[in-house]
Amino acid sequence: MIAVRARLDGVVRRFGSVEALAGASLEVRAGEVHALLGENGAGKSTLLSILGGMLRPDAGTIEVGGRQVALASPRVAWALGIGLVHQHFTLVPPLTVLENLALGRRLQPARLGRTLTRLRAEAERLVQRTGLDVRLDARVEQLAVGERQRVEILKVLLRDPSVLVLDEPTASLAPAEVASLFELLRGLAAEGRAIVLVAHKIDEVLAVADRVTILRAGRTTFSDVRSKVDAASLVRAMVGESVTDVAAAVGVVVVASGSARAAAVGVGVGASVTVDDAARRRPGGLVATLADVRMHASVGRPALEGVTLEVRRGEIVGIAGVQGNGQRELARVLSGRSLPDSGSVQLPAGVGFIPQDRTLEGLIGDFDLAENVALALHADPRFTGPAALRWDAVRAEAERVRTRFSIVASGTKAPAYALSGGNRQRLVIGRELLVASDLLVAEDPTRGLDVAATAFVHDQLRRATETSEGPGVVLISGDLDEVLALSDRLLVVSRGRLTPVPENARTREGVGALMLGDSSAAA
Amino acid sequence: MPRPDRFRLGAGWVGAGAVAATGAVSALLLIVGGYDPFEAAGAALGGAFGSADAFLSVTLVRSIPLMLTGLAVAFAFRAGVWNIGAEGQLLAGAIAAAWVGLVGRALPAWLLLPMLLALAAFAGALWALVPALMKVRLGVGEVITTLLMSFVAIELTAFVVRGPLQEPRGVFPQTEAIAAGARLPALVPGTRLHLGVVLAVVAAVAVAWLFRQTKLGFRMRAVGASPEAARMAGKIDTGPVTLVAFLGSGALAGLAGGVQVAGVTYALYEGYSPGWGYTAIAVALLAALDPLWVLATALLFGALEAGAAAMQRDAGIPAVWAVAVQALLILAVLALDQMRRRANAGSAGV
């Protein structure tokens, strides 16, 4: 008989007006490796946090070991045998591995030596049994990422959990490390534990999982054993049945924007299923070129590798990808904010940049509208004298942005912190369009915006590229519907590399598979 | 003219609130100590503002080093550089000024005085250069480095007044009086008020203009308000801006040291600064880092010192009471500023 270790049913969790989970369920059994899959924002991490006792659900039931429980705190979850390995490491770098293992235990200073000795014996036994390769006396700061993760796992295993939960354990690992992690997980499952892991990559899921559960928009849409699934069916379950979904998603844009071109896109979707309007448009001259660009990351593999890209006037180049695959670095290199480690970058003079985080990177809350507009104009000779800024000219420009983009504010002296999210994005876009005479780089420009604000942003991007004299636009986004609907040309960024999406793969499944690094599903 | 509304309004509230709270608490302290707060206040006000001479020769003269160091602190803080070493930069300026004033006896006043002030400012900037480079090149936090550089400057002062610059008899840890031509002329005849107050006002107006009108000042404010947004939205290279903030701040503090040597003490001695560079932090924070308000808050602190001396003399209240009041004022500013931030963060709805 297979024992159900934990069961979550009909779990709902809201953050403000956003419903992160809208009826998710998960059933974890003893002795299995259970993979949890889903797009960005599908609710995977929220679900794990609920299982780990860090968040409380607004509705739904949780059973552990056959009894209904309330996981009121991480401590309660611990006591019930649920051990969570965090995505971000929680180790203290200057301490040794053994000292890190001792953290979070009840320590009596007088008996520290004895406690450490006992802990060492325990840890050594565990290391021997599981084959976890960990040096107990090394300082954590000396360890590679893969080894740090093994320390995290060891730390959790010392408490002998019956359910081991790992949030994206392979995110920063090299392939060889991934293989040995999977071997370890299989061994732990064989001991009768239940293993739950969140993964992004289909091939990895297929390699290790006994059972797969898929979340989509906060709901569990699929759950079955490994033997009954393949890559194609998983991608389908993740992104949804394409025809109706894409049409619905694009339909929202069409209705809200009211531009003739957008309507053409909508019709195209309805008629031919794939979104394909590249042929209609004739891009202008080359404005930006990246050739063989490489950029390091703080840990693990390079953030960008062998990236080559050409951008022409009047075209929207869409770049889709799962977060953390090099988008940020690409956006910064393309907008001239960062220099790559190697490779050549040719950028035009008039570059606008819409950064992903408007509140932190796009605007200064304490500055008023004019001062925020000045962020883009302070180096422009038209707005500066020898030393002074021409504040009257800057303020006039800010007023024009405010009226043209219907920014709801008392005037150009209103501070940016007083603006709503949508109005902040209008301000950023309005400002960047002032300077983006040649190139506009937009990074997740509609993240966190409601339907109307999203439509506004899409409309602005389309209008900017209406003629072949307009700027080239690079739209970097994790939102598949957005890039499919707007892009003239579409590429996927995965593990720091750019791959053009072939015309016949311009569908949710095709692009989705490429985003997950599965090239076979796209062909 | 660009004015961040919240900064101004909220900051004014902090200043007024801090002064009121400090007044109330210190009155309470006086009552507990068995003194009559009204008599004390009368003596203090008389000592600080009671006569033209009290105001010009005592209060205003004591305010001048606080004005210049307060400006130095505000200059750095506005750009997000937490220079808490104005004390050391002031001493570096004072050493340079004393040296120029001693060795330049042969030079005419029109040359000697400007040279003294320029070298004082230069020495202050130089003293700030070390933590500046450590910050920009190596990422070392400036709070520690600027503070530690102050201790070095204190010891350096002690060394030069016992060694190379000691008075000829070699008895006291101090220098000889500087040349007459190196001294700042009196502004109002018959008082001790010197030209330094004009320099401080000019410096304040210049810094205010820099922040409000110029490209450099805008970049400094942007980097100070949000380094991320300055880099990403403003495409500002934060390194050079940070360097300017350090050097400008050091120069203003160094100038304070030079002005004090050339305008008040005419000599350098061991234990030269009573902590101007540290009080300056309170002066700048109370002024919400606004250069023109720094003049007013420095005057308040100057009056407090002048008033404390008078209270001791006329009402028998120990002068250390002024130190307690200053400390209370600083605590009140920090607490109220934090409350303001929280309130604003709540209302911003981010």
Greatest Cα pair distance in chain B? 68
- Shortest distance between the Cα of A45 and any Cα of chain B, in A, equals 22
Helix (H, G, I), strand (E, B) or coil at A63: strand
Residue among B210, B216, B235 with most chain A CBs within 10 A, to mutate: B235
Could you report the per-residue pLDDT of B97-128, keeping only the tens digit for each? 999 999 999 999 999 999 999 999 999 999 99
Q: Which among A337, A389, A428 has CB closest to B215?
A: A389
Residues of chain B positioned with their CB less than 8 A from the CB of A391: 1-2, 213
B252-308: pLDDT as tens digits: 999 999 999 999 999 999 999 999 999 999 899 888 899 999 999 999 999 988 888
How many whole angstroms from its chain centre is CA A383? 38
Strand partners, A216: A219
Q: Does domain B10-347 have CATH number 1.10.3470?
A: yes
Q: What is the number of CB-based contacts under 8 A between chain A and chain B?
A: 96
Q: Å from B234 to nearest chain A CA?
A: 4
Contact A464, A440 (CB under 8 A): yes
Q: Which helix (H) or strand (E) holds A112?
A: helix A112-130
Sort B82 into a burial class: Cβ within 10 Å, 0-12 / 13-18 / 19+.
middle
CA distances from A57 to A12, A61, A221, B177 (A): 6, 9, 19, 77
Contacts of A287 (CB under 8 A, 6+ apart): A311, A312, A313, A348, A438, A439, A471, A472
Give the C-alpha separation, B137 to B134, whole Å.
6
Which CB contacts under 8 angstroms, 24+ apart, belong to A496-499? A496/A295, A496/A297, A496/A301, A496/A302, A496/A303, A496/A304, A496/A305, A496/A307, A496/A325, A496/A326, A496/A329, A497/A305, A497/A306, A497/A307, A497/A326, A498/A307, A498/A308, A498/A309, A498/A319, A498/A330
State the smallest CA–CA distance between residue B330 and chain A in angstroms. 24
The pLDDT value recorded for residue A258 is 32
| Residues of chain A positioned with their CB less than 8 A from the CB of B235 | 336-337, 353, 379
- Sole residue written with tokens 């791959």: A499
Smallest Cα distance from B224 to chain A, Å: 10
> Which pLDDT value is given to residue A257?
32
| Rounded-to-integer distance, Cα A11 and Cα A218, Å | 9
Q: Could you tell me if A378 and B220 are in contact, meaning their C-beta atoms sit under 8 angstroms apart?
A: no
Tell me whether A241 touches chain B (CB under 8 Å): no
Query: How far, in Å, CA of B90 to CA of B257, rounded?
Result: 5
pLDDT tens, position by position, for chain B (350 residues)?
333 444 444 566 777 888 888 889 988 988 998 888 888 888 889 989 988 888 998 999 999 999 999 999 999 999 999 999 999 999 999 999 999 999 999 999 999 999 999 999 999 999 999 999 999 999 999 999 999 999 999 999 999 999 999 999 988 999 999 999 999 999 988 899 999 999 999 999 999 999 999 999 999 999 999 999 999 999 999 999 999 999 999 999 999 999 999 999 999 999 999 999 999 998 998 888 999 999 999 999 999 888 888 888 888 888 788 788 888 888 888 888 778 777 665 444 33
The H or E element spanning position A309 is strand A304-312
Nearest Cβ partner for B225 among A332, A362, A366? A366
Which of A137, A200, A130, A141 is closest to A172 using CA atoms? A200
| Rounded Cα distance, B11 and B17, in Å | 10
What's the whole-number average pLDDT of chain B? Answer: 90
The 8-class DSSP code of residue A383 comes to G
Partner-chain contact A361 B215, CB within 8 Å = no
Both structure tokens of A252: 């929202």
Residue A517 contacts B, CB cutoff 8 Å: no
pTM of the complete model: 0.74
d(CA A83, CA B297): 57
